[in-house]
Structure formats: C-alpha cells, structure tokens
Amino acid sequence: MAHLMSLPMTNSKKELTAVTATEATVSVRRLKQVVAALLIAFAAVLVFLAIDGLTMPMRATLFIFFSAIVAWTVLELPETPVALTGAIALAVVGAIAEDVVYRSLGNDIIWLLLSAFVITGVLRNVGLIEQVTARLMPGMRSIRRMFWMLTLLTFATAFIIPSTSARAAILMPVYLGLSAAIDNSRIARALGLLFPTIILLSAGASLIGAGAHLVAAGFLSRLTGAQPDFLDWLVLAGPFSLATCLIACAILLHVFLTKEERDMAPGGKAGLNRVAPFSRQQIAVACVVFCTVLMFATQSVHGIGMALIGMAAALILCMPNVSGMALKAALKTVEWNLLLFMAGTLVIGEALIETGTAQMLADRLVAVFRQSLITAPIVIISFAVIAATFSHLIITSRTARVTVLVPAFALPLSGLGVDPATLVMVVTLASGFCQMTMVSAKPVVLFGGMEPAAFTQTDLRKLGYFLLPPFIFLLILSATLLWPMLEIFQKK
C-alpha cells in the first residue's frame, strides 16, 4: 500500500525536475537572445556612428560580419544559414555586386570539395578503408602497436578525404569492430579518443584535409597573388601535423592506459583475423585514388588545377566498370550543407577584402600594437597561435573560425612586419585544435555522442590539457624557424 502511494509522488518529482530543466533551458536561451541583441545594437552604434573614416560599404560589411560572429557564437545558430544570410545581406545593401554571390557557387574550391565528396562516397561504398585496416590487423601484436598503426593509417586518409566528418563516418565501423574485439572498456575509451583526435590533427597536413584550408588558400590568393599547392601545403604543415598526431597517440597510450594494457594483444574476436582478398572494384578504386593524389602532388609540374583533377577522378570512379557506384548515388553522399556554407563564407571573405574592411581592421590593430611597443615577430606569431587555438571554445565551426580569424587577426598583425602568408597558415592550423569541448568538431560529436559513448567530456578535456602545450609550442616553432627556411611563399 505504501509502495502504491509513493508512485504518484515519484512521478510528480520526475515531472517537476523535467519542468525545472525546461524552464532553465528557456531562461538560458532568452539570456543569449538578450545578450546577442545588446551586442548587435552596440555594434550598430559603434560601426555607423562612432567610428570615423569608413565608407558605407565598409560599415555595412563590418556590421554584417560582426552579426554573423554573434549568431555563430552567442546564439549558436546553424553555420550554413548564417553564412548564406550574411552573403545575401552584403549583396542587398550594395556592399558587393550581386553576381559575387552567384559566382561563389562556381568557385574552384566548391568544385574541388564536390569531387572530393564523391570520391569519399565511392571509398565508403567499396569498403576500401575497412579492407586496408583488416590487412594491417595481423601486424598489430599489441595495443601499443595497434594505436601507432591506426594513427598512421588515419593520418594518410587526410590526403584523399576532404571532410573530417566524412573521415569519422568512414572510420566509425573500424572503431566499433576493434572495440568489440578487444572487449576492454578502458582501451575502448582511449581508442574512441584516438580516432577523432587524429582525424582532426592530421587534417592540417593536407590542403583538402578541411574546408577551412581552402578558405585560407582563397584568402592567400587574393592577398598575395599566390597560394600553396597540394605539395607546398604538405611541406609546410605536414611535419607539424604528423608530430602532433604522434604526440596525441603517445599521450593516449601513457596517460589513459597502463603498461599491462599497452602490452595486451588486441584479441581475435569479430573476425578480425579473417581477411578477404581485395575485390576488383577495390583495386580499381585504389589505383584511381593513388593517381589522383599523385596528380595533386605534381600540380606544379603539369599545371592542371586541383578542381579539374578531382572532377575527372570523380567521374572515372563513378563509371560502372570501376566502382559499381553510379554518379547519382555518389552525389547523394555529398555534404551539400558544407558546400553552401563554404560558398557563403567565400562571399563574406571577399567582401571584407574588396571593400577595404580587412585593411581598415589591419591598420587599427597595428596602431594598437605599435603603441604598446609589442612588435617582435615571435610575440606576434605566438599571440595569433594562442588566440586561434582557444577560438574553438567560442566558434564551433572550423571553417567559420578561419573566416573570422584571418581578417580579424592574421591580416591586421601582418602589418607589423610578419609575413601575411605565415600568419594565415598559423591561424588556420591553430584553429584545428578541437580537443576541449564536445561541440567544437563533428568527429568529436560523432564518437562522443554514440550509444554507449566512446568517451566523456571529462576524458576529452583531460586529453586536451596534455595536448595543448606541445601543440602551441610546435606551431610557434614551425612558424618561426621551419617555414622561413623553406621559403615556399618567396618562391611563388
């Protein structure tokens, strides 16, 4: 009887808790809306009334740019609608010509990403990545060796798959198979952290590793008249990205696992030792992908654009006799949301440069630094690295971070005598650090949000604390010592 009487009370408590949580969520949302409204109102007064020496297109561009930042950060609105709204608003107010919006969809960056997504869809369809992983399994005599081999394999995928979220989706079955075979929760947690971490860090090594890199390349092309090609980007960013990947793997092995767990054999469950032979389609796809990467790397020799190479490869791969996957089916795997987001950010970036807004920001920020007598190149580069590295705590989209940080930090700071190309590369690579919060990158969300979760927010933050210092140090070291010796931009 007492038990029956307690049921309504228990249900009432649950309902009360749910109502309280809902009210708290609504309150937080309203608070964010109030803060966003105040920030935008303050920006409107500052831009249109307080700042002198600006043309109306510059004022409109600056206000729309700031409003987009508020929408991305404070309101946490979806990236693509915000970017497209900003691009359309720039054309409506006359800050840019209307055809600039339409031309952005025909940009070679968009076509390169489109073709790369088609290639990714074919790779996923034929199961080539899973087959390669299965082939490597006999050499994984211990958990330690398995982690190192998976790190190198995941690093290699950055050169053929353009989206970190696509790489995460492709490698997810590999993680599930390995974790099931090992059947150890601590090792599964470390393995779950390994995949998204290496996916994100290795992206920096490849020009097509992330959409943010192509945005940065577009900035460089408009600013300096030259941009790094596929091989140049690898030479500049490859050593740094590989070093950070290896450090992350070492941290996961030695911080999250004991010596006994590191020496443990992976196990033989889930059919990991039964390796099927490569199919004819897998061999054909592997050959086309290899030739594509080779063409990317030798672009300076043959002179064919990467977008054209990618489109040709996508069409070849979608021939029935090659992969068995039709182009129509491959196009369904394309992340159209990301392509439209890229188009919108390209318009915003072009408006910032064409209207002179970026130059204005540069002049004002340079004046502030000169007054403080902080002009040493290593100090300027360090400031840019630290600001860009922590920007993932505020701006959750990697491409949005680059769109914001290049004109806000890289271009202004270059006025203090630091090479603008170096600062653009620094900001772009630093913005790839996403190991502190779940919402800062899609691969982290994908692995951390599965049921059961591969890891927790506490695990992720613990990894971030260990990884952050070497990440910042190596990037500063690369920008101040390695890149000047290479002189890649000076040769362009």
pLDDT of residue 269: 45
List the structure tokens of 341: 């987001």
d(CA 483, CA 461): 30
**Count helices and strands in the chain by DSSP H and E runs:** 26, 0
d(CA 489, CA 487): 6
pLDDT of residue 7: 46
Tens of each residue's pLDDT in the chain, 492 residues? 455 444 454 555 555 565 566 766 778 888 888 998 999 999 899 888 878 778 898 888 889 988 888 887 788 788 788 889 999 999 999 888 888 888 888 877 788 778 878 887 888 788 777 777 777 666 677 888 889 989 998 998 888 776 777 787 778 777 877 887 787 889 889 998 999 999 999 988 888 787 788 788 877 777 666 677 788 888 888 899 999 999 999 999 999 988 888 888 776 444 445 567 888 888 898 898 888 878 877 777 787 887 888 899 899 999 888 888 888 888 888 878 878 877 887 788 778 778 887 777 766 766 666 666 566 788 888 888 988 888 777 666 777 778 777 877 777 777 777 788 888 889 889 988 888 776 667 788 778 766 677 888 788 889 989 999 999 999 999 988 888 877 665 555
DSSP state of 480: I
Instruction: Report the residue count for the chain.
Output: 492
Taking the alpha carbons at both ends of the chain, their separation in whole angstroms is: 85
Q: What is the CA radius of gyration of the chain?
A: 24
d(CA 120, CA 135): 20
Q: Are 448 and 438 in contact (CB under 8 A)?
A: yes
Q: Are 241 and 213 in contact (CB under 8 A)?
A: no
Q: For the whole prediction, is pTM greater than 0.75?
A: no
Q: Are 251 and 463 in contact (CB under 8 A)?
A: yes
Q: Are 361 and 99 in contact (CB under 8 A)?
A: no
In sequence order, which ranges of 298-434 are alpha helices (DSSP H)?
Answer: 299-302, 306-317, 327-331, 336-354, 357-371, 377-390, 398-405, 411-414, 420-430
Helix (H) or strand (E) holding 29: helix 2-45
> What dihedral do alpha carbons 335, 341, 344, 350 form, nearest 10°?
-100
